[in-house]
Amino acid sequence: MGTYLNKICQTPNLDALAKKSLIFNKAFTSVSSCSPSRSALLTGMPSHQNGMYGLHQAENHFDSFSSVKSLPKMLEDKGIRTGIIGKKHVGPEGVYPFGYEQTEENNSILQVGRNITHIKLLAREFLNNSTEPFFLYVAFHDPHRCGHTNPEYGEFCQRFGNGEEGMGLIPDWQPITYQPDELVLPYFIPNTLEARKDVAAQYTTISRLRPSSDNGIPFPNGRTNLYDSGIAEPMFISSPLHRERQHQVTNSLASLLDIVPTLLEWYNITIMKMTSLKIILLRKNGTLTGKSLLPLLVKEPDDKSKEAVFASHTLHEVTMYYPMRMIRTQRYKLIHNINFYSPFPIDQDFYLSPTFQDILNRTKSGQNLNWFKTLKEYYKRPEWELYDLKYDPEELNNIVKKNSSREIFEDLKKRLFRWQKDTNDPWICAPHAVFENKGNFKTNPQCLDLDNV
Give the Cα separation of 248 and 235 in Å (integer).
12
- The amino acid that residue 49 corresponds to is Q
- Which pLDDT value is given to residue 281? 47
Number of neighbours of residue 27 by Cβ within 10 angstroms: 23
Active-site annotation holder among 9, 34, 146, 429: 34
Give the Cα separation of 197 and 189 in Å (integer).
12
DSSP code at position 334: E
Question: If 0-12 CB within 10 Å is exposed, 13-18 middle and 19+ buried, where does residue 367 land?
Answer: exposed
- DSSP state string for 384-430: EEEEETTT-TT-----TT-GGGHHHHHHHHHHHHHHHHHTT-TTTTT
Residue 447 annotated among the catalytic residues of the structure: no
- Report CA-CA distances (Å) from 181 to 178, 191, 208, 217, 372: 9, 10, 21, 20, 19
- Model's pTM, two decimal places? 0.95
- Which pLDDT value is given to residue 398? 98
Q: Give the β-pairing of 22-28 and 248-250.
A: parallel
Give the Cα separation of 252 and 303 in Å (integer).
9
For the chain (length 453 residues), average pLDDT per consecutive 10? 93 93 98 96 97 88 95 95 97 97 97 96 94 94 91 96 96 95 95 97 86 79 97 96 96 98 91 44 65 97 97 96 98 98 96 97 98 97 98 98 98 98 96 95 94 84
Q: Is the separation of the CB atoms in 420 and 427 below 8 Å?
A: yes
- Which pLDDT value is given to residue 140? 93
DSSP code at position 281: E
Give the Cα separation of 160 and 256 in Å (integer).
30
Question: If 0-12 CB within 10 Å is exposed, 13-18 middle and 19+ buried, where does residue 440 land?
Answer: exposed
Give the Cα separation of 42 and 262 in Å (integer).
11
